[in-house]
Structure 1
Amino acid sequence: MPSATATAKPKHPLDTFFAPDSIALIGASRDHEKIPGRLLAFLRKNEFPGKIYPINPNYGDIDGLKCYRSISEVGQPIDLAIIIIPARGVLGALEQCAAAGVKNAVIISSGFAEEGGDSAAMQDAIVALAKKTGMRISGPNAEGFYSDVQRVAATFSPTVDVKPGVPKLVATSRRIGIVAQSGGIGFAISHRAKALGIALSYVVSAGNEADLGAGEFLDYMVQNSSTDVILLFIEGIRDVDKFLAAARRAAEIGKPVIVTKVGRSGAGERAAASHTASMAGWSAAYDAVFAKYGFIISNDLDEAVTIAAVLTTNPLPKGDRVAVLTVSGGAGIWGADTVSMQGLQVPELSEQIQAGIRGLIPSYGAARNPIDVTAQGVNTGGLQKSIELLDTSDEVDAILVVLSMSSETRMPFKQAELKPVIDAQNKPIVFYSYTLPSAFARKELAASGVVVLSGLTHVGVAMRQSLQRARFKLAPSDTVASIPFDIAAHLQSAKLSEADSKSLLRAAGIVLPDEMLVTEREALDGAISRIGFPLVMKIQSRDIPHKSEVGGVRVNITTKGDAFSTYQALLDNARKHRPDAAIQGVLVGPMAKKGVEIIVGTLQDATFGPMIMVGLGGITTELFRDVIYRPAPVSATEASAMLAELKAAPLLNGFRGAAKTDILALSHLISQVSALAAGARDRIAEIELNPVLVHPEAQGVTIVDALVVPKK
């Protein structure tokens, strides 16, 4: 059978990688106990439909295939070379591949950048060769890839071995694709998915990513029509621009991406000049990017596979109302508790629906929700008919079926009755077995398009994540505007005071209170006349970032005498606590009206660049850490969505009778600050506005304190 590329012009640069017509195996072996031998055996066991060319000068033939001394002797077009030879010989083999016109290569061999030193230099040479020749290279230190669609087992993973006479379990028509920066975990995900009957498209191990990276592999899965749901296992993204472009495309076309990000426990290396930076977790920027593009985050392998199972067998729900249908009262209550704890609703059904269900089940059953059809209800067909009734009801948005599937001989459903309901895809119908499901049950239900799940908590998470996915809307992209002022004039010093920072922000068009920097006592009268009482007075020094710690802040000053005495006290306190600090003066401003305290900040992430953060502000901001991050810039609409995600969101929306706040003004401010951070990414490391007081609707916001940290 010819591969897809034999009959159609490639639509993606990696079509010849994932669907090659011909493969050369450099380092092939007759020994199936060794990796090179396993590679060849797995290619043949999986019935690769194209040409295979073993390359090894030590053999004349391997398993009935002619073996070539070098790739130059083949004399035929080769789409893919799989290289498994000692590291020192890899670069030479790649050069021979390039000379022979090989389009793609997978380097299984290890001993490169992961070892450092000269080995890292060898990988650098591979990078240079890829750029020079245009040959696409995966690895080194990769576990290869597997294509179920084109039957390409270009890996030594035992998970792709074919056992004669053992039929494949396939319950889903939709397929999952897997991109992993750990080959072992990538194939572990596929192994568990196959055990449940979830169909696969591709599994690829990225290895050291000398050339091809996770972002480009993600891009392939996004555009690939055989892949319906994508699972990512990542440690860090190297091809950032390609990754972000692929993530946006997935969001635009509605293709779900489930991601597991590891390496979350490492200590961050950012200098914590601001609350914004000190609160940023090691993976805050990754989570911000995932949230922006609607990725589903899962930190558990079985949970991720369960989410994939729900997404590949069901439509997305239209709402949060779940009917729990069971044959065991206790199990049904447990199921109802589980989905409720995930924030889903288990509503009591209308009398009309209850009456319909009561007509299908014994008198000792329960019809309110959870619905207990009892074991007798299974035998009489009440379970199946209840599913059919709920599937067409507008009172619930999803059905959770909780039952025992341990029998090796009996089934609670008939395929002729269940399959049409599943095929109709009216709403999600999720099946959970509280006993370990038998192979018989899995096989029988797979014929109806059902995956049997056995982890109730994971099922609850998957149903919640499906709802969140259904509600996700991609925010419109916000272009980065040029900075409309001479920012360099505001960044003459390595450190900025509050007065310096506010001067820069005003120049950027951000509205701040009318304030004056008083540098000598005689100018205080003019400041009082201009601003009026009550006043706030704060010491200003580029050497004192935390003014309150040196007694450098006084509020609610109501008389001229108090203002003059405060001026002197602030200077005295600063000299006492920080005698070496260079004092700029005292910042005099109006007392702000009361409002909800919010923090707005930015930081620079080493991978994704500028990030905007918003959260519950004030002096307790680091205590509660109620913050949301997004890549900058964001629109006011996206900023408003960030605010809605805060646990403190009710405080902005009129909590316990308080006035609803000016969310529009706050959203506009967040958007402005994010645009400044993005536009000045080469000049500004951090911005922090804390607190920002959010006043009642139509009364705006007040930036009380501000800090801008120049980039070193």
Structure 2
Amino acid sequence: MSSATKSSAKAAAGPHPLDTFFNPAGIAIIGASRDAHKIPGLLLAFLRKNAFAGAIYPVNPNYTDIDGLKCYPTMSAIGQPVDLAIVIIPARVVLGALEECAALGVKHAIIISSGFAEEGGDSIAMQDAIAELAKRTGMRISGPNAEGYYNQITGIAATFSPTVDVKPDQPRLVATKKRIGIVAQSGGIGFAIYNRAKALGIALSTVISTGNESDLGAGEFLDYMVQDPATDVILLFIEGIRDVDHFIAAAKKAAEMGKPIIVTKVGRSGAGERAAASHTASMAGWTAAYDAVFARYGFIVSNDLDEAVSIAAVLTTSPLPMGDRVAVVTVSGGAGIWGADVVSAQGMQVPELSGGVQATIRGLIPSYGSPRNPIDITAQAVHSGGLQKTIELLDTSDEVDAILVVISLSSETRMPFKTPELAPVIAAQNKPIVFWSYTLPSNFARTGLAESGVVVLSGLTHVGVAMRRLVDHARFRLAEPVAEITQAPVDLAKHLTAATLSEHDSKTLLQVAGIALPNEILVTEKSLLDAAIAKIGFPLVLKIQSRDIPHKSEIGGVKINITTREEAAAAYDALIASAQTRRPQASLQGVLVSPMASKGVEIIVGTLLDKTFGPMVMVGLGGVTTELFKDVVYRPAPVSAQEAEEMLSTLKGATLLNGFRGAAKADVSAASSLIAQVSQLAAQLKGEVAEIELNPVLVHPIGEGVTIVDALVVR
């Protein structure tokens, strides 16, 4: 989307509620100070150093002026409209100051002050009072315990972070026309991302630290960045989302627009809070729901700061690739092979070039170079212009989709490119052209290449990941939406009266909800066994049924492949005896008689309720080995059959469903329909059901459907 298109799209959508937060005409600093070494003084100093064009109103009864700027004893003494108040005073007096701001019609506030919910105890109540004030008055509040924001475009440094200090002897390096926006639930990390991006020459729109999110949360700030025409790529650093609806709406909007979001989620090592009644829950881990949401909306997940910035560098300097074929152009044979290894390890191709393209490159490089791919042009071809001509040739070739330029940029005096010649190539590039320097790049080289619009990267692993993520982002398509069912088509409440449900209870509920299950009979006394056998036929499976025994196999509660009446009678007795011996307190419902299912690929289909995002659906390969391999994937429920099929395709063991080693291809369509059905049931029953688990489900060959062997529903 061009800048003009983006601007008109924003105009059509109307102003954003946070426009005057990020672009205020007047800013008051409540608690401003003359001491430029302390936070209140730094806030004022950085605002002025960055040449904020609006009005600045320091508020502190102890001063009449600060460095020639009039200082006001109170907010009401200002007598002019204020869009944003920055509050840096002791926690106990913050609420009073906010009440005064709201009464005066101040639109927004950032509370830098600490000492609220992060301290616990009575301080939580003070933060709750701030949230209540925001709701009551309509004044939007960021923080407390926030680090503020920096809007690079308009030079608004509403923060005390030293990363925004202006040093005239250190000119700013800017290589990209596209800009990143940063939303971080840690001020330190948010401004660290900006600090590292700035060092590479990546332009910024805005970086915001969300603080404790008493009112404004990461979701609303993300929404602002998504619709902001000046923000091309978003970096998100989160611990946990509070304003879930805003977050999901913003994520969906970004996916629809194709605006990339690079996310880092921390807190992955925390112990789960769920008491896991099922395998589905025990495997979910701390962040399964977050990863499910990220996957649905095409977020680019990164767990490393430099990697995230490298991905941003590639996204802000490159058009999207058409495929995954990479040309590696190198001045060093060894470094080029290394580059080819790294992109190949990321699943991309490094194809040998055609005879015609090789012949053309051969004419641009010395005889001891190689035109095959990696293309070793040698150091000599750098100075003869062969390097640039090779890049230009490959940029218009339909044999590759991206170019990795491997080069040494340590010189403080000599450049491998002439800016007037390289700049038009980069400006008109048809595919990603990524530059990796295997020596540490000098400031001279960085600055010179920045003039041509090039960001130089020096971490090869990060380069490989960034190029892979660019390919993935280009391929991502938002799944078709599923209308969530709000009213049960049939009354399921009567099947949810027991505190816990057995397999029989669970399957009865699923069957009433319209999910196809095998023909099974619950035998409550041995005299009824023959009649059940007559209806179902051999071979059989017998399973003990009790609401007090969720995992039957652990007590020897399952007997399979029964082929005679005598075997069935003996199995019945053995199941009852085993349950009475190993679970003497358990109340027994009887024995479930089921047909022995034909062979198929074993999968698990499950759902769980996440405390942040609600119902989730999970699918994995395995059956009894599911927990061992943990080859599972989650999505927010409900999902469509199309999204369910995409879930199955992302499993590491997906090959088993596609006819591994001559086996028949599995009925993936039937499996996908089942996953979609179960996900819709989970969404429908989110108030009554915590978990559903079908394990194993046998996926038979194409046309033969699926069989649900065992099921568990947890209230």
TM-score between the two structures when normalised by the length of structure 1 = 0.98
SS at match of 1:486: coil
Aligned-partner SS, 1:207: coil
Pair 1:225 & 2:225 matched = no
User: 6, 20, 26: which one pairs with 1:22?
Assistant: 26
Q: Report which stretch shifted further, 556-565 or 127-136.
A: 556-565
Give the Cα separation in 2 of the matches to 1:483 and 1:670. Answer: 18
2:517 is aligned, of 502, 512, 516, to 512
Alpha-carbon distance in structure 2 between the residues aligned to 1:344 and 1:150? 40
User: How many positions carry a matched residue from both structures?
Assistant: 704
For residue 68 of structure 1, what is the amino acid of its counterpart?
Y
Q: Which amino acid aligns with 1:207?
A: G
Structure 1: 5+ residue stretches without partners: none
Q: Deviations over 1:552-593 (max 9, x none)?
A: 111111111211221111111111111111110000010101
Cα displacement (A) at 1:92:
0.5
Give the CA deviation at 1:333.
0.4
Counterpart among 537, 540, 546 of residue 541 in structure 1: 546
The corresponding residue for 1:269 is: 273
Query: Take 1:655 and 1:521, find their aligned partners in 2: how far apart are those partners?
Result: 43
C-alpha distance in structure 2 between counterparts of 1:624 and 1:84, whole Å? 51
The residue type paired with residue 332 of structure 1 is: G
Q: Who is 2:263 aligned against?
A: 259
What is the alpha-carbon distance in structure 2 between the residues aligned to residue 600 and residue 510 of structure 1?
13
Q: Look up the match of 1:127.
A: 131
What percent of counterpart residues are identical?
Answer: 75
| Equivalent residue number for residue 654 of structure 2 | 649
C-alpha separation in 1, matches of 2:488 and 2:713: 15
**Residues 515-550 of structure 1 deviation map (CA, whole Å, 9 limit, x = unaligned):** 000001121121111111111110101111111121
Matching residue of 1:186: 190
Letter aligned with residue 595 of structure 1? G
SS in 2 for 1:259: strand
Instruction: Please tell me whether residue 451 in structure 1 is matched to residue 455 in structure 2.
Output: yes
Aligned to 2:4: none
SS in 1 for 2:61: coil
CA distance in 1 between partners of 2:294 and 2:159 (Å): 29
Partner residue, 1:167: 171
Q: Distance in 2 between matches of 1:699 and 1:351?
A: 49
Conserved 8 A contact 1:10-1:16: no
Deviation readout 1:579-608 (Å, 9 max, x if unpaired): 111110000010101000000000111111
CA distance in 2, matches of 1:310, 1:262: 23
Does the 8 A contact of 1:144 with 1:156 survive in 2? yes
Aligned equivalents of 1:77 and 1:44: distance in 2?
19
- Secondary structure at the aligned position of 2:337 is classed as helix
Q: State the SS of the aligned residue for 2:76.
A: helix
Aligned partner of 1:431 among 431, 435, 439: 435
- Following superposition, the deviation at residue 360 of structure 1 comes to 0.4
Check the 8 A contact 1:80/1:103 in 2, yes or no: yes
Residue 214 of structure 1 and its aligned partner are, at CA, apart by 0.2
Query: Aligned partners of 1:149, 1:478: CA distance in 2, in Å?
Result: 39
Superposed CA deviations along residues 65-107 of structure 1, whole A, max 9, x for unmatched, are 1111100011111000000001111000001101111000000
Query: Is structure 2 residue 382 aligned with structure 1 residue 349?
Result: no
> Does the CA-based 8 Å contact 2:395-2:429 persist in structure 1?
no
Partner of 2:622: 617
**SS class of match (1:52):** strand
Q: 1:689 aligns with which of 685, 691, 694?
A: 694
Question: Aligned to 1:684, what secondary structure does the other structure show?
Answer: coil
1:118 to 118, 122, 135: 122
Q: Distance in 2 between matches of 1:234 and 1:578?
A: 45
In structure 2, distance between residues paired with 1:698 and 1:534: 22
SS of the aligned residue for 1:73 comes to coil
| Structure 2 residue 469 is the aligned partner of structure 1 residue 465 | yes
| Pair 1:305 & 2:305 matched | no
The answer as to 2:425 corresponding to 1:416 is no
Given candidates 50, 53, 56, the residue that maps to 2:54 is: 50
* 1:638 paired to 2:604: no
Note if contact 1:406-1:438 (Cα within 8 Å) is conserved in structure 2: yes
Decide whether the 8 Å contact of 1:617 with 1:692 is kept in 2. no
SS at match of 2:643: helix
Range moving further from structure 2, 473-482 or 534-543: 473-482
Given candidates 565, 572, 592, the residue that maps to 2:597 is: 592
Letter in 1 for 2:90: P
Q: 1:524 to 1:497 in 2, by over 3 A?
A: same
Which consecutive residues of structure 2, in runs of 5 or more, have no partner in the other structure?
Answer: 1-6
Q: More displaced, 601-610 or 559-568?
A: 559-568
Match of 1:699 in 2: 704
The one-letter amino acid of 2:370's match is: A
Q: Deviations over 1:221-242 (max 9, x none)?
A: 0000000000000000000010
TM-score (norm 2): 0.98
Residue of structure 2 in register with 1:91 after alignment: 95
Instruction: Determine whether 1:32 maps to 2:36.
Output: yes
Other structure's SS at 2:115 match: coil
Runs of at least 4 residues off by over 4 Å: none
CA distance in 1 between counterparts of 2:424 and 2:262 reads 28
**1:617 Cα deviation (Å)?**
2.3
3-state SS, counterpart of residue 712 of structure 2? strand
Instruction: Say which SS state the counterpart of residue 604 (structure 1) adopts.
Output: strand
Q: CA deviation at 1:416?
A: 2.1
State whether residues 272 and 278 of structure 1, in contact with CA within 8 Å, keep that contact through their aligned partners in structure 2.
yes
Task: Give the SS at the match of 2:672.
Answer: helix
Shift of 1:165: 3.6
CA gap of 1:10–1:554, structure 2 versus 1, over 3 A, is: closer
Question: Which residue number in structure 2 is paired with residue 13 of structure 1?
Answer: 17
On the 8 A contact 2:60/2:73 being kept in 1, the answer is yes
Contact 2:328/2:340 (<8 A) preserved: yes
In the alignment, the residues of structure 2 paired with residue 330 and residue 601 of structure 1 have an alpha-carbon distance, to the nearest angstrom, of 49
User: Residue 582 in 1 paired to residue 582 in 2?
Assistant: no
RMSD, matched Cα? 1.0
Match of 2:665 among 652, 657, 660: 660
Aligned-partner residue type, residue 536 of structure 1: V
What SS does structure 1 have at the residue aligned with 2:127? helix
SS state at 1:692 partner = strand
Q: What's the offset of the Cα at 1:551? A: 1.4
2:244 matched residue in structure 1: 240
Answering whether residue 379 of structure 2 is matched by residue 375 of structure 1, we say yes
**1:312-340 alpha-carbon deviations (Å, 9 max, x no partner):** 00011110100000000000000000101
Equivalent AA in structure 1 for residue 526 of structure 2: R
- Following TM superposition, by how much is the alpha carbon of 1:209 offset from its aligned partner in structure 2, in angstroms? 0.2
TM-superposed deviation, 1:170: 0.5
Deviation by residue 1:415-469 (Cα, 9 ceiling, x = unmatched):
2221122111300000000011011111111111100000000000000000001
Matches within 5 A, 1:379-394: 379-394=383-398
**d(CA) in 1 for partners of 2:135 and 2:554?**
55
Deviations along 1:270-318, one digit per CA (max 9) or x if unpaired, are 1111110111111111111000000000000000000000000001111
Q: CA deviation at 1:10?
A: 6.7
Post-superposition offset of 1:408: 1.0
CA distance in 2: counterparts of 1:223 and 1:307, whole angstroms: 21
Find the aligned partners of 1:350 and 1:490 in 2 and give their Cα distance. Answer: 67
Identify the residue that residue 484 of structure 1 maps to in structure 2: 489
Asked if the contact 1:306–1:462 (Cα under 8 Å) also holds between the matched residues in 2, the reply is yes
Alignment of 1:327-346 (within 5 A): 327-346=331-350
Residue 475 of structure 1 is matched in structure 2 by 479
Q: Distance in 1 between matches of 2:519 and 2:39?
A: 72
* Structure 1 residue 285 corresponds to structure 2 residue 289: yes
Distance (Å, rounded) in 2 between the aligned partners of 1:33 and 1:574: 73
State the shift of 1:121 in Å: 0.7
Q: Which amino acid aligns with 1:583?
A: L
Aligned partners of 2:162, 2:420: CA distance in 1, in Å? 37
Contact 2:219 2:246 in 1 (8 A): yes
Whether the aligned pair in 1 keeps the contact of 2:436 and 2:459 (CA below 8 Å) is yes
